[in-house]
Amino acid sequence: MLFSFPLPEFFGSSYLCTMRVTEHFQRAEGKTLISFEVIPPLKGSMQAIFNTLDALMEFKPPFIDVTYHREEYLYKKRPSGYYEKASIRKRPGTVGICAAVMHRYGVDAVPHLICGGFSREETENALIDLNFLGINNVLALRGDARQFEDKFTAEENGHKYALELVKQIADMNAGKYLDANITGGDTTDFCIGVAGYPEKHFEAPNLASDLHFTKEKVKAGADYIVTQMFFDNQKYFEYVDACRAAGIKVPIVPGLKPLTKKYQLNSIPRKFFINMPEDLVSAIVKAKDDEAVNQIGIEWAIAQSKELKARGVPCLHYYTMGENETIKKIVSAVL
């Protein structure tokens, strides 16, 4: 299904979207593409996303990922002294941002869709909305535990693992909806991406187990994998080799994030369960301020990107996290 969106003058020629992410890889014929991930802003301002992407569009990313954030619980103290549990969505708007990105820039958008907080019916409805909007790409994820919860819990009648979500999307691609009475429903054409972990997902007992379930996601219909960030390319190369040995043949896109602040030396491993190479750690420790850290982070990410590109990865996928100037310096040096 192809939709033509009007483009702002700035981008000149018209662009037909949507194309499947894997089609972009095929059309690139071995050339390494550049793509970006953005995070919905805290409620109120879409401008932050546009500022980030306006600065990065010169690199002609064929697609932009937009993350999804589950609701969180807050405990508010009432005048009586008791605490009230309130559920809030701090960063809503993933689908709206995807539509806005496609409309403004004429590039494909990849909404992240998570299991957490969704029943199967709600997932189906979200997918129907995406299909109606002409969004044919989705990154299917489980999501993490809510803040203050020690493990992930699925919604009642929701999915426990990304694998089940992939199966639901693949079913819709085959015209199968939850209500078995619906026959002849629209067949969707979602290109399905899933997450992969070069340093293993933190809950997996070992890499082999994690790879087993990643392979199940691919068997169920996942078309490509995007990795968790890593700072040691060797981990990525070994992961790709392990995937291939396990029979996982789909494209594996490396996810990259530059270090920009000293505190990330501890916060990133704590949050993403990854290791940092000793050379990088000692350079950051010696850096006199965050400006120096930023420079080291840029140089490290450039070196990583150049090596990955030289090894022919399908795409370099940057987690922008509002750091558009930093990302711009990196990509400029890599292209």
Q: Please identify which residue in 143, 254, 297, 314 interacts with ligand FAD, judged by CB under 6 A.
A: 143
- The interface region with ligand FAD, picked from 41-49, 161-169, 182-190, 243-251 by CB under 6 A, is 161-169
Q: Please identify which residue in 21, 33, 135, 163 interacts with ligand FAD, judged by CB under 6 A.
A: 163
Give whichever of 37 and 106 is closer to ligand FAD, judged by the CB atom.
Answer: 37
The reply to whether 49 sits near ligand FAD by the rule CB under 6 A is no
Give whichever of 163 and 293 is closer to ligand FAD, judged by the CB atom.
Answer: 163
Element (H, E) at 217: helix 207-220
The region, left, alpha or beta by phi > 0 then psi within -120 to 50, assigned to residue 81 is left
Instruction: Identify whether the C-beta of residue 320 lies closer than 8 Å to the C-beta of residue 280.
Output: no
The reply to whether 169 sits near ligand FAD by the rule CB under 6 A is no
The reply to whether 142 sits near ligand FAD by the rule CB under 6 A is yes
Give whichever of 70 and 104 is closer to ligand FAD, judged by the CB atom.
Answer: 70
Q: Please identify which residue in 131, 188, 228, 305 interacts with ligand FAD, judged by CB under 6 A.
A: 228
Residue 200 bridge partners (DSSP):
none
Q: Which two tokens stand for residue 257?
A: 């994030």
Q: How many residues bind ligand FAD (CB under 6 A)?
A: 22
The reply to whether 114 sits near ligand FAD by the rule CB under 6 A is yes
* Residue 237 CB, nearest approach to ligand FAD (Å): 17
The reply to whether 235 sits near ligand FAD by the rule CB under 6 A is no
Using CB under 6 A as the binding rule, the residues of this chain from 58 to 77 that contact ligand FAD are 67-68, 70
Residue appearing with tokens 């795409």:
315
The reply to whether 161 sits near ligand FAD by the rule CB under 6 A is yes
Please name which of 93, 99, 101, 97 lies closest in space to residue 11, comparing C-alpha atoms.
101
Q: Tell me phi and psi for residue 66, to 5 degrees.
A: -125, 120
The reply to whether 306 sits near ligand FAD by the rule CB under 6 A is no
Angle at 326 between CA 34 and CA 278, to 5 degrees: 95
Q: Which two tokens stand for residue 66?
A: 């937009």
- The interface region with ligand FAD, picked from 54-62, 159-167, 243-251, 296-304 by CB under 6 A, is 159-167
The reply to whether 333 sits near ligand FAD by the rule CB under 6 A is no
Instruction: Identify whether the C-beta of residue 330 lies closer than 8 Å to the C-beta of residue 264.
Output: no
Q: Tell me phi and psi for residue 252, to 5 degrees.
A: -120, 110
Q: Where are the beta strands (DSSP E) in the chain?
A: 3-4, 16-17, 33-38, 63-66, 72-77, 83-88, 108-114, 137-141, 191-196, 224-229, 252-256, 315-319
What is the distance between the alpha carbons of residues 225 and 96, in angstroms, rounded to a whole number? 24
Is 203 considered catalytic here? no
Q: 3-class DSSP state for residue 256?
A: strand
Catalytic residue among 37, 164, 199, 323: 37
Using CB under 6 A as the binding rule, the residues of this chain from 245 to 304 that contact ligand FAD are 255
What is the distance between the alpha carbons of residues 235 and 275, in angstroms, rounded to a whole number? 10
The reply to whether 162 sits near ligand FAD by the rule CB under 6 A is yes
Catalytic residue numbers read 37
Binding site for ligand FAD (CB under 6 A): 67-68, 70, 112, 114, 141-144, 161-163, 195, 201, 203-204, 209-210, 213, 226, 228, 255
